[in-house]
Structure 1
Amino acid sequence: MRITRNIVAAGALTALAVGATTALSTTASAAPNITPQGACGSAYKTVNSAPIGSLGTVYLTYNSSNGKNCVATIRTNPGKATYVSTYIYVPDTDTSAGDDGNYTSYAGPAYVYGKGYCVSWGGSIDNVYVSVEHSNCAALKEHRVTGIR
């Protein structure tokens, strides 16, 4: 069962619309001490990350053989299930993916084709969130926002 969720964030120069898809499964909570490669796959290399306060980190990874990016939000201290989310958005192709729910260790993986494109991505744990707009592209400087909802 999938539930579609839209996240909208406004930037100084652009408006970011992100559709995050929730998958109701136990795979996102299966293992404590998960790594970005454990969530996304061993062929995915970490290319960026952003701390979510002291609660965890959202990781952006990339697989050069298939041109896909993957994001996963990983809690610092796995334990009791709490709200965790992750999303990725490619503005040029209007493609997005995400995952959110009550998880014990991480949300994700979420994959999009991103070769040659800027990506916007982020995640949250409890009420703390981080969003990174226009990252991993040469022409634009990325914009990061961290806050509390």
Structure 2
Amino acid sequence: MRIARNLAAAGALTALAVGATTALGTTASAAPNVTPQGACGSAYKTVNSAPIGSRGTVYLTYNSSNGKNCAVTIRSAPGKATYMSTYVYIPDTDTWAGDDGNYTSYAGPTYAYGKGHCVSWGGTIDNVSVSVEHSNCAALKERRVTEVR
């Protein structure tokens, strides 16, 4: 009886471990048709965006009530998990937030306080990257760079 109970407990622990790995170990987001506000929050308004080739778009949003920017990279067509990233950087305060991994529809959201500061941000889908430096500030003209690796 003790052996049967130990085997049952071992089987239950194995099933639990496999289930936890399946639930927690996946890095692929599964939300199709996501919007920047759906990822960042309804209080965030889109203030800028940049296409990542034909693969998708990276969005910069801003919440005027808390002064935070949010960046999210969204694929045009969700599908098989592929490498994606997104980041937002505030050069004046050296504040950076980013996310990367293998995702099915979007990377992020990432948040950084940026009220009254220029913002640098960008994203990657597979082998195409876009970076935007010094955007959303009157003092400097933004600089956009698209790279294909």
TM class by smaller structure:
0.7 to 0.9
Give the TM-score of the pair, scaled to structure 2: 0.82
Q: 2: distance between equivalents of 1:137 and 1:125?
A: 26
Work out whether 1:37 is the aligned partner of 2:37.
yes
RMSD between aligned residues: 1.5
- Residue 7 (structure 2) aligns with: none
- Residue 101 (structure 2) aligns with: 101
Q: Percent identity?
A: 85
Structure 2 runs not aligned, ≥5 long: 1-23
Give the TM-score of the pair, scaled to structure 1: 0.82
Moved over 2 A (4+): 24-28
Q: 2: distance between equivalents of 1:25 and 1:96?
A: 25
Residues paired across the two proteins, number: 126
- One-letter amino acid of the counterpart of residue 102, structure 1: N
Work out whether 1:138 is the aligned partner of 2:135.
no
Structure with the higher fraction of residues in strand conformation: 1
1:30 Cα deviation after fit: 3.2
Q: 2: distance between equivalents of 1:127 and 1:139?
A: 32
Structure 1 runs not aligned, ≥5 long: 1-23
Distance 1:138 1:92, change over 3 A: same
1:147 Cα deviation after fit: 1.1
- One-letter amino acid of the counterpart of residue 101, structure 2: G
- Residue 112 (structure 2) aligns with: 112
- Residue 8 (structure 2) aligns with: none
Q: 1: distance between equivalents of 2:86 and 2:120?
A: 11
Q: Deviations over 1:1-56 (max 9, x none)?
A: xxxxxxxxxxxxxxxxxxxxxxx876871310000000000000000000000000
Structure with the higher fraction of residues in helix conformation: 2
Distance 1:26 1:62, change over 3 A: farther
Q: Give runs of aligned pairs for residues 1-149 of structure 1, distance below 5 A.
A: 29-149=29-149
Instruction: Check conservation: 1:28, 1:108, Cα contact below 8 A.
Output: no
